[in-house]
Structure 1
Amino acid sequence: MTTAIAKFAHLQIPLEDVVKATNNFADDNIIGRGGLGHVYKGQLQRSGEMIKISALRLDRKHGGGVVEFWTEVSMLSDLKHPNIVSIVGFCDEQHEKIIVTTYEAKNGSLKEHLSNPNLTWTQRLKICVGVARALSYLHYDEGRGYGVIHLNINSSTILLDENWEPKLSGFKVSIKQSLNRMDRVILSEPIGTIGYVDPEIEKSKGVTYKSDIYGFGVVLFEILCGRRAYIRNDANRLLAPLVMRHYENETLHDIVHPDLRNQISRGALRRYSKTAYSCLKEDTMQRPNMVTVIDELEKALEKALKFELRLEYFVRPSLLFFFFFMSITSHHFNLFI
């Protein structure tokens, strides 16, 4: 790992600085618990400026995680996009391995808000578009000279900032691939989170960038239905086969989040669900690329914004008339008394 440390030397942060930033890894500062360890929030002095940070501290008790640690450091050191978390640095000393990023999750992860009645359809679509743009950047950006297959797209790795802008995280199992070989199968065991793993990996014994498309398709349906991709003790524990069945039977409206039904026009629902469904196609060749997905989602967002304006145009005058009527009625009633 000496070579790796030398390559990323400019990102090294002394352990004492991270300890101070997180108040000695205080329990009150824990904002996440994952398979590799806890995530802490804190404030770190960097280049004369105090910044808010998240610090993933690898759990030393269980060992392992070293490959994932360096994969994440390597990936984030190259990636610069408004919808991807930004690395601040890392710590690798005294048997501690810590990845420090800017604190992006002021509104937590998308997973925490799937059933949130206050998260509107328009806001949800904006989140979808942001994540799609991040994935397009990973898959196609020519500035790096290589593409990235994320391999763990899910509603937990999508963080939401104070403006509900999405920030993609979780690059611990990501793979670099030549841009001209992104559609080639890379031999791999099934990687990812239950409910999001591309079932085609078992058959092809490997992954392609279309594995990310599948995971994103599941997220799109999570956002529409307001439920998680995997619910352990539920009869329909896996969301993907459930939504595919409803889509094919033209009964998808039955499982749309109740608070969203009156916010979605038929046209927007049709365009959105067709796009999400195409991402889950069994044949990876039939799944769209992210350029196509972005185009469809942006059109769905455009429809949603117009529908929202129409609702305001018709509903607001009605409410004003109602309150005016009530005030007049109340006035006459008071005079009568």
Structure 2
Amino acid sequence: MSLNDIKMGTKNFDYDNFIEDGIFWLLYEGEVANTSVFVKRWFTKSHQTHIQFLTELDILFRHKHDNIISLVGYCIENEEQIIVYEHASNGRLKKHLSDPSLTWKKRLKICINVAKGLEFLHEGGVGKGDGILHRDIKSSSILLDHDWNAKISNLDFSCKETVYESPKHVDDKDCNSMGYIDPEYESGTFLTKKSDVYSLGVVLFEMLCGRPAWIKGCVDHSQSLGPLALSYYKENKNFDDMIFMGIKEQIAPQSFSKFYKTAIRCIKPQGKFRPTASKVVLELEKAMEIQEDYETWEAKLPIDYKEIISLSKTQKIYDSIEMTKDLHDVFTKGILLQDDKVSSIYIEGIEFRVINDVKNEEATNFQQFLKSNSKQDQLLSLHEVNKKKHLMLSATDVLYDFSNVKHFRLKSSTESSETYGASLECCVHGLSLIVLGGAPGLFSVKSTGYLISYWFEPPLKDN
């Protein structure tokens, strides 16, 4: 790519086209060959600058991936060293951290993208060659295109980790920014792929908390976001206060749980306890799947859903749930998983459970049961969502036992005290939607006899 074309595209490196500067370069945006691009203009007065330039250029040539910034061209002319990249119209991730329009689902997508890009580098690219350590993962190193796809950039500090060496040690600590530095590396040990994973974990917490890792007032690394999040975890503090208010109400609790635990593992003080980038990808994809299921169901709730919610909001319900804050959260909002598949969703005190393959005659029988039962005022309605039938029931002080629709009956909570006792009794408050036909892991459906719906333990299970 000619220097003249680059100068024309950036209006001779005009200040209006200037975006930011790094340790070794200045970054501009412009248009070259009718294409919007970023132009990184390297300083040329030091040998170190030349090394960084060649390092990034080599990696971009050899490692092409959807989540790594793409090389458009380069120029070595008249003592200029320039790399031209694809343009990312939404700029750096860092500037969007506190933007409420960046939804939780978008944030999950971005985090997955970054983890996939890092996984690709760590595994040595398409040819599975020497792994690459990025060494500068942070929210300002992540670019976002017009569709909010994340692209890892700033590869000038990257280095290879060959199979013939011990974990690569790098002396230059300028390669990372305050707040993202692996505590093992900071204390003088080796820099490894797990150091990148630590930095990725900090980015995950930035996305969850809507704030940079290092804010005004931080004196040292111990006061940055990573150590702060880890202290909450170690001291078993409620992390709710740390979650960005702009997205807090959007997050499915089990999606949060999966994301939070993954992020915590990433920032473990010892690298050997951190997951690989590949494992992070898998866990974040599970968090996304949970969130998507949650949003799909929430949009298909019955029209009278808010009215039903109001029926469940009695002081008695909340007084009875004193066991843990987690249990209370499950009752008021949330999603329950079994084997990472949605079998039940809790929102504002209502439990929704999927009915699999319910026969029409069973639904008809149950509708007749609703009409004839003496406590029909407690049995609200039968709904259909996505061609799956759902029975919505009031469960104020009763348990529901059934073997099939024809033998459905109400059973007082005291009758079942020998099975689950007070723990179960407190859990039957609120509104429930019980599965007809059973949900694996929640019910043991039999053709005869009866069964007890027990959903006390699953909400507290560590999925």
With structure 2 as the length reference, what TM-score do the two structures score? 0.61
- Match of 1:65, SS state, is helix
Counterpart of 2:348 in structure 1 is none
Counterpart of 2:198 in structure 1 is 214
Counterpart of 1:21 in structure 2 is 9
- CA–CA distance in structure 2, aligned partners of residues 216 and 65 of structure 1: 26
1:164 to 148, 163, 170: 148
Aligned partner letter, 2:16: D
1:111 to 94, 98, 101: 94
Q: What's the CA shift string for 1:120-169, capped at 9, x where partnerless?
A: 00000000111111111111135152111100000011100000000110
Q: Is the 8 A contact 2:182 2:199 kept in 1?
A: yes
Counterpart of 1:37 in structure 2 is 25
Tell me: higher relative CO, structure 1 or 2? Use CA pairs within 8 A at least 6 residues apart.
1
Alignment of 1:295 with 2:282, yes or no, is yes
- CA–CA distance in structure 2, aligned partners of residues 53 and 222 of structure 1: 27
Aligned partner letter, 2:210: G
Q: What's the CA shift string for 1:266-288, capped at 9, x where partnerless?
A: 21111111000001111111100
- CA–CA distance in structure 1, aligned partners of residues 130 and 44 of structure 2: 33
Range moving further from structure 2, 165-174 or 233-242: 233-242
Alignment of 1:95 with 2:85, yes or no, is no
Counterpart of 1:200 in structure 2 is 184
- Report the alpha carbon displacement of residue 176 of structure 1 after superposing the two structures with TM: 1.2
Counterpart of 1:125 in structure 2 is 108
Counterpart of 2:170 in structure 1 is 188
Unaligned runs of 5+ in 2: 307-463
Which structure is higher in helix share? Answer: 1
- Match of 2:179, SS state, is coil
Q: What's the CA shift string for 1:77-116, capped at 9, x where partnerless?
A: 111101111112222222222111111x200111000010
Aligned partner letter, 2:169: L
- CA–CA distance in structure 2, aligned partners of residues 70 and 14 of structure 1: 18
Unaligned runs of 5+ in 1: 1-12, 320-337
**Given the superposition, is the C-alpha separation of residues 281 and 89 from structure 1 closer, same or farther in structure 2, using an over 3 Å criterion?**
same
2:139 to 155, 172, 181: 155
Aligned partner letter, 2:168: I
> Which is higher, the Rg of structure 1 or of structure 2?
2
Q: Is the 8 A contact 2:205 2:263 kept in 1?
A: yes
Once the two structures are superposed, the pairs formed by residues 1-337 of structure 1 within 5 Å of their partners are 13-45=1-33, 50-59=34-43, 65-103=49-87, 105-140=88-123, 141=125, 143-178=127-162, 180=163, 184-189=166-171, 190=173, 191-234=175-218, 237-248=223-234, 249-314=236-301
Counterpart of 1:3 in structure 2 is none
With structure 1 as the length reference, what TM-score do the two structures score? 0.83
Q: Is the 8 A contact 1:231 1:237 kept in 2?
A: no
Q: CA RMSD in A?
A: 2.2
- Report the alpha carbon displacement of residue 58 of structure 1 after superposing the two structures with TM: 2.0
- Report the alpha carbon displacement of residue 197 of structure 1 after superposing the two structures with TM: 1.0
Count the aligned residue pairs: 300
- Match of 2:39, SS state, is strand
- CA–CA distance in structure 2, aligned partners of residues 278 and 151 of structure 1: 19
- CA–CA distance in structure 1, aligned partners of residues 119 and 270 of structure 2: 20
**Given the superposition, is the C-alpha separation of residues 234 and 283 from structure 1 closer, same or farther in structure 2, using an over 3 Å criterion?**
closer
- Match of 2:299, SS state, is helix
- Match of 2:64, SS state, is coil
Aligned partner letter, 1:238: S
**Given the superposition, is the C-alpha separation of residues 315 and 58 from structure 1 closer, same or farther in structure 2, using an over 3 Å criterion?**
farther
- Match of 1:268, SS state, is helix
Counterpart of 2:414 in structure 1 is none
Q: What's the CA shift string for 1:247-297, capped at 9, x where partnerless?
A: 232321110001221111221111111000001111111100112111110
Q: Is the 8 A contact 1:185 1:204 kept in 2?
A: no
Q: Is the 8 A contact 1:69 1:97 kept in 2?
A: yes
- Report the alpha carbon displacement of residue 311 of structure 1 after superposing the two structures with TM: 3.0
- Report the alpha carbon displacement of residue 314 of structure 1 after superposing the two structures with TM: 3.9
**Given the superposition, is the C-alpha separation of residues 305 and 63 from structure 1 closer, same or farther in structure 2, using an over 3 Å criterion?**
same
